[in-house]
Chain A
Amino acid sequence: MGVVVVVGTAKGAFILRSNKDRKSWEIEGPLFKGWKVTTAARDADGTYLFGTASDVYGAAIQKSKDLKTWRQVSAGPAYAEGGKHTLTQVWKILPHNGVCYAGVAEAGLFRSEDGGESWEPFTGLNEHRTRDAWCPGAGGLCAHAILVDPRNPKRIWCGISGVGVFRSDDGGVSWNAKNNGVPVIIEDKDYSDIGFCVHALAQDPNSPDRIYRQDHRGMFRTRDGGENWERIENGLDSGFGFPVARDRASGALFIVPLESDEYRVPKDGRFQVFRSRDDGDSWQPLSRGLPQENFFSIVLRGAMDVDHLDPGGVYMGTTSGDVFVSVDEGDSWTALPCRLPRVQCVAAFVDD
């Protein structure tokens, strides 16, 4: 058994490989030199799908069976020529039960039923009645979070920065905003159901209506699929942050709080991860092995992942290119011997 961790950066992807003990790592790369690698996924057939992007040359999806030979799909997610919207980045690719979902910027959601070769838009979301009022956040107008109910694939959640969480119960035909209990960030003059700034979502696959939400306005949890959200910040000195990850093996949650939306850096230069072992009821700081002074780099929303092994591995990359690994569910951390470009995404995959 081995673990493969894809670290997507502003200038290519790097592949970290280790065996099951995850003590030593080989680092390969960059793949896609000169391109941003914005998201990475692997489908049930073992095919890797990366989102690549360039400020000059736009965005695309690349596929590979072996992380060595790549082919760009020729009919990736796209907005209509001559339309109002431009596709600038693929933020999230989620293979699920034979369907591949892609969240993009400008904000939209697409699906593929042929392994990512061709894509169709979720028109009910991409042309939602509120669409013209969607206002981009600091990271742009991006659909970055996708969840699918493992019990019922017609039930889909999508998180869009500056807009909020939407849920479809009919396979993506119609979408309703689900933000009750979360404070609005950008109040719209016409629509009261948008203007919420979700940063990341994580779901309990054993109880899919239980979703954890790192929001601009704090940490939240829903126990009813998004109908109601409650604040869960016991033990946190700040609710602001970007990523949230949940380890399936232990049920532990991981977040990286920052000092307020105004400053967006680790408070006092102390880099800490917070973990919850009680579904978000309380949080404890983790700092062993992490820089505790003069550290002002952050972890972006897609730049933390877990491997779901026992004990759980947690992986995160920072905007200054550091990669930190924990193989004891966050109790201790090791900085890998590298300094990469700005880390956009981290994705962990386990091989049998």
Chain B
Amino acid sequence: MLEDGGNMATVQIRLPSVMGTVVEGALQFSIEAESVGGALEVIAKRFPRVGLHLFDETGGLRPHVLCFHNGKNTRWLDNLDGAVNQGDTLLFMQAVSGG
């Protein structure tokens, strides 16, 4: 909870190891956000070098990038308006397919 009394929460962001060269090894960091969608917006705006690789020109996640909110695939959510709570985790992974 921030001082302004809003519903902001500290969310842990975890990136796949292949992104290490993008973030100079800092594969985990935290942001403040109110919702899942808000957290994605914060990443895109505050961390443009990361955002470039997670989001495409549609403004949404790249087709083979998955985002899990506390283990739940955000693609399965009806929308991204759901609140995030203190200590929640957003884990990004690539969708592995084929072989």
Does A35 belong to the interface (CB within 8 Å)?
Answer: yes
Q: What is the minimal beta-carbon distance from A331 to any residue of chain B, in angstroms? A: 39
A-B contact pairs, 29 of them (CB 8 A): A33-B21, A34-B18, A35-B18, A54-B53, A56-B62, A56-B94, A57-B18, A57-B19, A57-B54, A57-B62, A57-B94, A58-B62, A60-B53, A71-B24, A72-B21, A72-B22, A74-B48, A74-B52, A75-B48, A76-B52, A78-B52, A79-B57, A81-B57, A81-B58, A82-B57, A82-B58, A82-B59, A83-B57, A86-B56
Q: How many A-B residue pairs have CB under 8 A?
A: 57
Interface of A is mostly: loop
**A70-114 with Cβ < 8 A to chain B:** 70-72, 74-76, 78-83, 85-87
Is residue B65 contacting chain A, with contact meaning CB distance below 8 A?
yes
CB-CB nearest in chain B for A62: B21
Residues of A within 8 A of B75 (CB): none
Contact B62 A85 (CB under 8 A): no
Residues of A within 8 A of B94 (CB): 56-57
Q: Does the CB pair B52–A58 fall under 8 Å?
A: yes
Q: When A56-B64, A57-B19 are in contact, do A85 and B57 touch as well, CB less than 8 Å?
A: yes
Residues of chain B within 8 A (CB-CB) of A55 are: 64
Select from chain A the residue with minimum beta-carbon distance to B44.
A81
Q: How large is the interface on B (under 10, 10 to 19, 20 to 34, 35 or more residues)?
A: 10 to 19
Interface: A32 (CB within 8 A): yes
Contact pick for B21, options A35, A78, A80, CB 8 Å: A35
Q: Map CB proximity to A onto B84-99 as digits: 1 under 8 Å, 0 otherwise.
A: 0000000000110000
A74–B94 CA distance with the chains assembled, in angstroms: 21
Interface of chain B residues 28 through 83 with chain A (CB within 8 A): 48-49, 52-54, 56-59, 62, 64-65
Chain B hits for A81, CB < 8 A = 57-59
**Which residue of the partner chain B has the closest CB to A72?**
B49
Distance in Å: Cβ of A34 to nearest Cβ of chain B: 4
Return the CB mask of B1-26 against A: 1 if under 8 Å, else 0: 00000000000000000110110100
Known: A56-B94, A57-B19. Is A74-B49 also a contact (CB below 8 A)? yes
Is the beta-carbon distance between B49 and A86 smaller than 8 angstroms? no
Inter-chain contacts of B54 with A (CB < 8 A): 57
Contacts A34-B18, A72-B49, A74-B49 given; indicate if A56 touches B56 (C-beta within 8 A): no
| Cβ contacts under 8 Å, B19 to chain A | 57
- B residues less than 8 Å from A71 (CB atoms): 24
Docked complex Cα distance between A288 and B49 (Å): 46
With both beta carbons as reference points, the residue of chain B lying nearest to A87 in the complex is identified as: B57
